Amino acid sequence: MPAAVAALLATALAATGCVTVSGASTPVAALDKHEAAEVLHDYEVQNNQAYANRDLPLNARAETGSLGALDQAGLRILAFTDPNGNLGRAPILHERPEFLIPKVVGWPKWFAVRNTPNFNNAKPQFLVFLRAGPDAVWQAAWGPTLQSELPALKRDSSGYLEQVSPTAAGLAASPGELAPVLAEFLKDGKTRAELFGPDPYTAQLRKQRDEPIGDGYVRQAVDSPAAQFPPLAVRTADGGALVLFALQHSIKLTVQPPRRLGDVDPSTLAFLAGKPSRSVTEHRLSEYVAVVPKAGGKVQLVGWVYGLVGAEGE
């Protein structure tokens, strides 16, 4: 009798969504579209309040990962350049959301929202939420802007997506390779250049590293994978993968005496104790969405965001 009651209770709890399934050995979805919509709504409320009040602790509760790093820095800059906040401004909402939910083995669980923010001339965004463990809350972790349409994604009979491992074989590059390979390409414009299809963003970064800056000035750039933010990937309908990954960039500008640095951007000054005279180093973070075809094809970057996250001066 107790065993029968326990089985009946477990069935009832599962039906109401009160049992958390870890999916330790099998791929499961951590939530459905209705629950995902609630996560998005709660995030909008917290995020708008954080920006209205320049509230970094509230933002840290709502966001994590590379998006959290970008927005924590962005709020610090706004507190320095525009301390009055966004009070009285219309809240930012995510319109026409499409929820993309993969089945994942173990933790963390995650899902994405393809949407268009409601401000003027906004481009679609690929907003990704992550839940680190069964006792953790959902937090926004990625938020690159989409520059072109996403490919069709592979779905099962219930509409859920298939997650792809960082080391998956059979692709032009595994998801875990993309950040190191792109970092190497940015250094010299040659390494694995054949892997990436043309895109204006990467071309602009390469131009910044190559163009002259004038006599008496030295520029040093270091591009590296943001390994603290592991890539996420799902299978596309044609057998390729859609991959999120991140890079970090440090660019140092030094002047030789008797020259002195000119005006420094207020955004950079937000991270400095005083105005530098000899050198300034800016630390930036970039997120990417890449379409990775099967082996032999070219990787196409279809979305990105790039922002200042720190600075040092002398």
Question: Which string of b and e fits 13-52 if b means at least 16 CB within 10 Å?
Answer: eeeeeeeeeebeeeebbbbeeebbeebbeebbebbbebbe
Flag whether pLDDT at 18 surpasses 70. Answer: no
pLDDT value at residue 142? 98
Q: Where are the domains of the chain?
A: 28-83+90-313
Compute how many other C-beta atoms are within 10 angstroms of the C-beta atom of residue 201.
Answer: 14
**Which tokens in the block code for residue 215?**
């006599």
Q: Does 229 score more than 70 pLDDT?
A: yes
Whole-model pTM: value is 0.89
Query: Please, what is the Cα angle at 125 between 130 and 242, to 5 degrees?
Result: 65
Distance of CA 42 to the CA centre of its chain: 19
> Which tokens belong to 271?
């991270």
The answer to whether residues 276 and 264 touch, using CB atoms and an 8 Å cutoff, is: yes
Kindly report, residue by residue over 39-58, the tens digit of the pLDDT.
999 999 999 999 999 999 99
d(CA 269, CA 281): 11
Q: Tell me whether residue 296 is exposed, middle or buried, using C-beta atoms within 10 angstroms of its C-beta: 0 to 12, 13 to 18, 19 or more.
A: exposed
Which residues are CB-neighbours of 164 under 8 A, at least 6 positions away?
A: 175, 233, 234, 235, 241, 243
Per-residue pLDDT tens digits for 280-297 = 999 999 999 999 999 999
Are the C-beta atoms of residues 161 and 103 closer than 8 Å to each other?
yes
Q: What is the CA radius of gyration of the chain?
A: 22
For 54, the 3-state DSSP assignment is: coil
pLDDT digits (tens, 9 = 90+) for 183-224: 999 988 888 888 988 888 888 888 888 887 877 889 899 999
Q: How many CB atoms lie within 10 A of CB 165?
A: 13
